[in-house]
Amino acid sequence: MRRGCRAAPPGTDLVAATEIVAVTTSSNLANRLDSIVGTGHVRAPTNSEARAADTIVEPGSVEEICELVRMCEADRIALAPMGAARSLAVIRPSPVALGISMARLARIVAYEPDDMTIVAESGITVGALNTAMGSARQRLPVDPCNPSVTTLGSLVCAAHSGPLRLSEGTSRDLLIGVRFVGHGGNLVHGGGRVVKNVAGYDLMKLMGGSFGTLGIVTEVTFKVRPVPAEYWVAVIPCARAADAFAAARIVNDALPLSNLDILSPSFARRFNSTLQFLLLAGFSGSPLEIGYQAERIRDLVGPRGEILDDEAALRSYGLLRDLDFRSAPLAAQIAVPLAHLGRALEACGDDIEFRAHAGSGVAQILLADEPSAERAVKTVARWREAAHSARGTLRLLAATPAIRDSLEVFDTPNAGALSLMRRLKAAFDPAGIFNPGCFVGGI
């Protein structure tokens, strides 16, 4: 039998749905896909995409996506939007029948530097977007790992963020408009192009972190920010994690930092740290502000560590941003109230490596060596327990195929919230075709 995912809402006859999928993913389907997106835009998945989807289409217009959705609804074919397919590969228990690649929808639609807003199709990468804004000295300050491969669609729908979330927020704070193809193949928009807007329900928030389960985001509008005149970073080695968290708290209380991150030993070594843990406190502003902050940090943390300026600071920031958790055999993101982060990481066990956004209460953690399925289950259970006992949550970022099936990617929301989420899913996706069966509570 094919691995094609069953596309059926809870309660419907799954066997029947599978049969439909099996029938339609034949040459008949290939022909129909060709007729919608044009020959040459339907292909087999690459190796890295194979865990995400069985067949990939690359539509060249929003109208083609609308038509694909209508076709899939009629025939109950599961589909999912994808950028580089990295998030899908982790969250999907089995590949979806049809991956909708946004690669050909990657244009900047409108950019007005004086308004500090930008409208772009969801297939463009964060890196390409920021390159385009470089001459105006502006940027979208959301900084996932490897921005040159992270598409805006993925940034929003898979809720990626990075060290700058401390000072600039996440895509949740900066997304001011969205267009998506919803059920019925209808193009829907929420928000607009202005930085402040409360007309109608906030569909941007619904799409954020929805992992393609409510529709296919085709266009996003962001508030953007000026690139600071200068960026420096204080690099402070600490013998123990607790020392690093204590120092982080002191500087965070005293200064409006750009980022504040703590690295565990194996990551710290990449920064040539001689001690176990490393605290990186980034700060920015005008030359006067920079000089003042550098001095304050020296006062606050004493003589340990050094302050990197200009190129060296940017190099170390790049290294910090691009620490890759999604290539690890097992990795997760933990989020707890900020003061509990140190303790929660300690409770995760001494076999982890981590990058902690110490000013935000969010950290990425990983196991360096591939665990057995049994150890993976135990490890993730311990991580979840650590997160939950600090009133936080945990989400898997990576798991090898061998262990993925025995693990839950998402936490389960409380019963009341989950029941509303199921109703939301049923309302936005009555045919159950949008990336089904892989989100919270099996949505």
Partner 1 sequence: MTAKDQPQKRCSWYSAGLNARAIEMSSIDRKLLDELREILGDGGIVSRATELKVYECDGWTVEKSIPDVLLLPRSTSQLSAILAALHRRGVAFVPRGAGTGLSGGCLPLNAPAMICTSKMNRIVEIDLDNRRVVAESGVVNLHITNAVKAKGFFYAPDPSSQVACTIGGNIAENSGGPHTLKYGVTTNHVLALELVLPEGDVVELGDPTEERCGYDLVGAVVGAEGTTGIVTRATLKLMREPENHRTLLATFPDADTATHAVSKIIASGIVPAALEMMDQLIIQAVEQAFNVGLPLDAGAVLIIELEGLEAGLTSHADEVTKTALAAGASSIRLARDEAERALLWKARKRAFGAVGRLAPNYATQDGVVPRTCLPRILRVIADVSRRYDLRIGNVFHAGDGNLHPIILYDEREPDQVRRAIEAGREILKACIEMGGSLTGEHGIGVEKIGEMALMFSPDDLRVMTELRHVFDPLERSNPGKVIPQPGTCVEVAAPRRQVPI
**Binding piece for partner 1, criterion CB under 8 A, among 20-28, 80-88, 197-205, 313-321:** 197-205
Q: Which long-range contacts (CB under 8 A, 24 or more apart) does 263-271 make?
A: 263/320, 263/323, 263/354, 263/355, 263/356, 264/352, 264/353, 264/354, 264/355, 265/353, 266/353, 266/368, 267/323, 267/353, 267/354, 267/355, 268/237, 270/319, 271/235, 271/316, 271/319
Draw the binding track, 79-118, toward partner 1 (x: CB under 8 A; -: no contact). Answer: ---------------------------------xxxxxx-
Cα angle, residue 318 at apex, residues 367 and 364 outer, rounded to 5°: 25
Instruction: Quote the least distance from Cβ 196 to partner 1, whole Å.
Output: 4
Query: Nearest Cα to 55, choosing from 82, 93, 16, 86?
Result: 82
Q: Which is nearer to partner 1, 275 or 424 (CB)?
A: 424
- Candidates 208, 237, 305, 371; binder of partner 1 (CB under 8 A) is 208
Would you call 5 helix, strand, or coil by DSSP?
A: coil
Query: Nearest Cα to 123, choosing from 74, 173, 179?
Result: 179
Instruction: Quote the least distance from Cβ 397 to partner 1, whole Å.
Output: 12
Residues 274-333 that bind partner 1 (CB under 8 A): 285-286, 288-289, 291-293, 333
Beta bridge partners of 307: 234
> By CB under 8 A, is residue 196 in contact with partner 1?
yes
- Candidates 10, 38, 127, 169; binder of partner 1 (CB under 8 A) is 169
> By CB under 8 A, is residue 56 in contact with partner 1?
no
Can you tell me the distance from the alpha carbon of 352 to that of 287, in angstroms, rounded to the nearest whole number? Answer: 38
> By CB under 8 A, is residue 194 in contact with partner 1?
yes
Residues 402-441 that bind partner 1 (CB under 8 A): 410-411, 413-414, 416-418, 420-421, 423-424, 427-428, 439-441
Count of residues of this chain found to bind partner 1 when the rule CB under 8 A is applied: 82
Would you call 433 helix, strand, or coil by DSSP?
A: coil
Q: Which is nearer to partner 1, 159 or 403 (CB)?
A: 159
Instruction: Quote the least distance from Cβ 30 to partner 1, whole Å.
Output: 30
**Binding piece for partner 1, criterion CB under 8 A, among 125-133, 184-192, 262-270, 307-315:** 184-192
Residues 116-135 that bind partner 1 (CB under 8 A): 116-117
Contacting residues for 223 by C-beta, under 8 A, at least 6 apart: 116, 117, 174, 176, 195
Residues 334-373 that bind partner 1 (CB under 8 A): 335-340, 360-362
